[in-house]
Amino acid sequence: MTISKIEALQLERYNHLEGDHFGRYGTGPNDMAMKRFKVKLIKEMFSDVKGAPILDLGADEGSVVGALSDNGNTGISIDIAYQRLLGNSRLGKGLFVCSRAQELPFSESSIGGICAFDIIEHLDKKDPVKMMEEIYRVLAPGKKVILATTNTSCLARNMRRLIEPDRVVSIAEHANEMSYQTVRQLFRQTGFVNIHARGAGIIPGMRRLQWFLPFNKLHKWDIAISERFPQISPEIFIAAEKPQ
């Protein structure tokens, strides 16, 4: 497997076993509210896909593949970070494949669903199209993909531009952040239909403020109220289908 310079940097940051691996994702009230939101979305999206393989591109701490398994699906976690996959495998749920999202080792139309949470912003600028084309290729007709990423046109980012007009990414680990409109266009360009979006979070700086505002209901409310406003939410979830 040949990886790019950007992917090599990502390996340095994320290729960890348990401990650093789990700790990197955070355990604050905002982190936990977001995790519950993702699990809820997964169960809604793939409740009618029982037993078919569903890919989780960009392994998290295991909540995605765990939720898929709990939902009666066969979750397959995909990542270039082998050590990170080993950490996930200790949960005892799902399958694990070390691979690039831009070069998926699956046959055409063989996959029953795909999650791509917080991966596209870590890729080189030329790779998002390749990843979406691969998702389209392996996804079975009529099946769904859901992608989560940061949104450069969110309310918080627009406010911050007044202070830091030259800043192009929210954190150093991100190589390629996009706006809500750009991500939607990427779906259309690749051929997906029935494109729907949800926002997650609307109050600027909530993840940074979570330790000073440790109120679970506040973070749950912030995510819930923003679902209808993806254009200005810092985190967007876009779902679509491959045509029949």
161-177 pLDDT, tens digit each: 777 767 666 666 777 89
Type and span of the H or E element at 14: helix 5-14
pLDDT digits (tens, 9 = 90+) for 116-152: 998 999 888 889 999 999 999 999 999 999 999 999 9
pLDDT at 17: 52
- Low-confidence spans in the chain with pLDDT less than 50: 18-23
pLDDT at 102: 94
- 197's CB contacts (< 8 A; 6+ apart) are 180, 184, 230, 236, 237, 238, 239
- Cα 133 → chain centroid: 17
pLDDT at 19: 38
Please give the radius of gyration of the chain, using alpha carbons only, rounded to the nearest integer.
17
Would you say 76 and 138 are in contact if contact means Cβ atoms under 8 Å apart? no
pLDDT at 186: 96
pLDDT at 22: 47
